């Protein structure tokens, strides 16, 4: 039940003035760790969203408390100006985030289900869905409390798909936008969801004045679902904003001392005179890391001249390890890399240099060293790695890019484009990339970098805000 307090248009905490620009996302710009002595350590987040939102100083960011440290900070009243962290019940958040957002909505939009066995929408699913509604309602109520009359509210991503509709019911005076950072499933796949749930998700997003996506393809898929299931998008406007790389930050950060140290260590692991195929990903099922390793193995099989002349630098940073399917996938990545090294490696050459501990400085070092960037996701909303490597590369790199990445829409003309399921064709593309003439590789890299920074994060956010206010 929505509280009467939240339903009042001007109701808000007395501790701060009403906000005119609000952002809502599951993860906020800061997180807290509870030390053994009881103290709280704050850590600032990174990424495109945090960078983009720095374009507006006077805003309120509403987010969820994600761990014990965050929840303790909320209870103690510790926080940063401009951030409201919601202490949603931990069990409710787990159901909503892992049970629904990451195990259902993510799988639908990335088309990851093994349909002979899954999904199964049973009583347990309905129980978790009720938690997802509760979690979304907590955000809607908080936004309703905090927003000044006529304020602009930008709701981020699939975790909060129901918020626009809920917030519209509470505060019809607000300008509400929703942005999807993932792909959107085509209608036939979207309809795997129970009919009432599919309709509820669409109506939730259509509570916004404007629904925006990373590419035209994902926007068209959404409107296709709305047309098939609801008969159209109603009064909601549809927009496209392709998030770009933050060139100034990347180029500055990539030449700091710790990155130079990581480059020296990587060069030692790679060995002198060898070419590099670089990938940097989380061990997310959609990233297709295992097939990328298979393609590299096929390259060594079918093009033995590359043995001892190339190294696959693969960073696979563990993701969502609280879910068994992700732990199994991470283990498979390790096993395949180990198998390649055992079969092909020599005393002087390690074919796959695999790192699984997240290290941003090391990622930037690999970006600078890359001769070839391998970005082969099964499906991806955008994939900023495909944009970041050409921006940072020291000597130019060839990009092998999946046609199922959102970045393909902007970068495809200068990449070597592959079907992510076709291991043999990906191996051939890696060979073509490794043998590309220096002048062609440099020219392609220059064009890729220009396309990659066309809409940097701050402008990406301001464009959405301006479009919502128009």
Q: What is the DSSP string of 361-426?
A: HHHHHHHHH-SEEEE--SSBS--SHHHHHHHH-SS--EEEEETTBTTHHHHGGGSEEE-TT-HHHH
What pLDDT sits at residue 78? 86
Indicate the pLDDT class of residue 96, thresholds 50, 70 and 90.
very high
Task: List, for residues 315-371, the tens digit of each pLDDT value.
Answer: 988 877 777 888 888 999 999 999 999 999 999 999 999 998 888 999 999 999 999
Task: List, for residues 199-237, the tens digit of each pLDDT value.
Answer: 999 999 999 999 999 999 999 999 999 999 999 999 999
Task: List, for residues 248-291, the tens digit of each pLDDT value.
Answer: 999 999 999 999 999 999 999 999 999 999 999 998 899 999 99
What pLDDT sits at residue 6? 36
pLDDT exceeds 60 at position 3: no
Indicate the pLDDT class of residue 17, thresholds 50, 70 and 90.
confident
Under DSSP, the state recorded for 323 is S
What pLDDT sits at residue 38? 83
- Mean of all residue pLDDT scores within the chain: 93
Under DSSP, the state recorded for 285 is G
Could you tell me which of 2, 10, 4 has the C-alpha nearest to residue 171?
10
**151 within 8 A of 174, measured Cβ to Cβ:** yes
d(CA 376, CA 403): 8
Task: List, for residues 23-58, the tens digit of each pLDDT value.
Answer: 999 999 888 988 888 888 888 876 666 777 777 778
d(CA 300, CA 340): 9
* 413: number of Cβ within 10 Å: 11
Beta bridge partners of 176: 153
Identify whether 346 is preceded by a cis peptide bond (ω within 30 of 0). Answer: no
**201 within 8 A of 227, measured Cβ to Cβ:** no
| Residue 107 host element (H or E) | helix 106-109
What pLDDT sits at residue 2? 33
pLDDT exceeds 60 at position 106: yes
**84 within 8 A of 60, measured Cβ to Cβ:** yes
Higher pLDDT, 14 or 281: 281
Those residues with Cβ within 8 angstroms of residue 339's Cβ, 6 or more apart along the chain or in another chain: none
Task: List, for residues 408-433, the tens digit of each pLDDT value.
Answer: 999 999 999 999 999 999 999 999 99
d(CA 40, CA 78): 9
């Amino acid at each position: 039940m929505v509280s009467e307090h939240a339903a009042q248009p001007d109701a808000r905490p007395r501790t701060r003035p009403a906000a005119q620009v609000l952002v809502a996302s599951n993860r906020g710009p800061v997180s807290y760790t509870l030390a053994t002595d009881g103290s709280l350590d704050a850590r600032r987040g990174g990424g495109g969203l945090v960078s983009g939102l720095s374009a507006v100083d006077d805003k309120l960011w509403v987010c969820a408390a994600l761990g014990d440290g965050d929840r303790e900070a909320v209870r103690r009243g510790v926080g940063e100006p401009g951030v409201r962290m919601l202490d949603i019940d931990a069990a409710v958040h787990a159901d909503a985030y892992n049970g629904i957002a990451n195990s259902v909505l993510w799988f639908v939009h990335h088309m990851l289900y093994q349909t002979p066995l899954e999904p199964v929408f049973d009583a347990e699913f309905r129980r978790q869905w009720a938690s997802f509604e509760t979690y979304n309602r907590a955000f809607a109520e908080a936004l309703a409390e905090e927003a000044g009359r006529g304020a602009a509210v930008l709701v981020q991503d699939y975790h909060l798909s129901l918020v626009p509709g809920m917030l519209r019911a509470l505060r019809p005076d607000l300008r509400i936008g929703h942005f999807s950072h993932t792909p959107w499933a085509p209608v036939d796949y979207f309809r795997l969801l129970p009919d009432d749930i599919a309709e509820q998700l669409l109506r939730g997003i259509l509570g916004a004045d404007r629904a925006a996506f990373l590419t035209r393809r994902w926007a068209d898929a959404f409107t296709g679902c709305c047309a098939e299931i609801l008969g159209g998008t109603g009064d909601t406007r549809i927009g496209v904003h392709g998030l770009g790389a933050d060139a100034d930050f990347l180029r500055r950060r990539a030449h700091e001392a710790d990155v130079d140290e990581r480059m020296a260590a990587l060069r030692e692991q790679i060995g002198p005179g060898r070419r590099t195929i670089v990938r940097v990903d989380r061990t997310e099922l959609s990233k297709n890391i295992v097939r990328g390793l298979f393609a590299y193995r096929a390259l060594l099989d079918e093009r033995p001249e590359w043995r001892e002349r190339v190294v696959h630098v693969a960073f696979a940073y563990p993701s969502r390890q609280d879910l068994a399917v992700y732990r199994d996938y991470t283990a498979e990545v390790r096993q395949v890399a180990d198998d390649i090294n055992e079969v092909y490696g020599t005393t002087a050459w390690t074919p796959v240099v695999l790192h699984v501990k997240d290290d941003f400085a090391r990622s930037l070092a690999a970006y600078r060293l890359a001769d070839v960037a391998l970005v082969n996701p099964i499906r991806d909303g955008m994939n900023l790695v495909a944009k970041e490597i050409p921006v940072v590369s020291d000597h130019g790199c060839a990009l092998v890019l999946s046609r199922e990445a959102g970045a393909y829409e902007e970068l495809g003309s200068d990449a070597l484009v592959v079907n992510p399921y076709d291991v043999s064709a990906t191996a051939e593309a890696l060979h073509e990339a490794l043998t590309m003439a220096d002048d062609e590789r440099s020219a392609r890299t220059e064009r890729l970098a220009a396309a990659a920074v066309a809409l940097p994060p701050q402008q990406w956010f301001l464009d959405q805000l301006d479009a919502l206010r128009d």
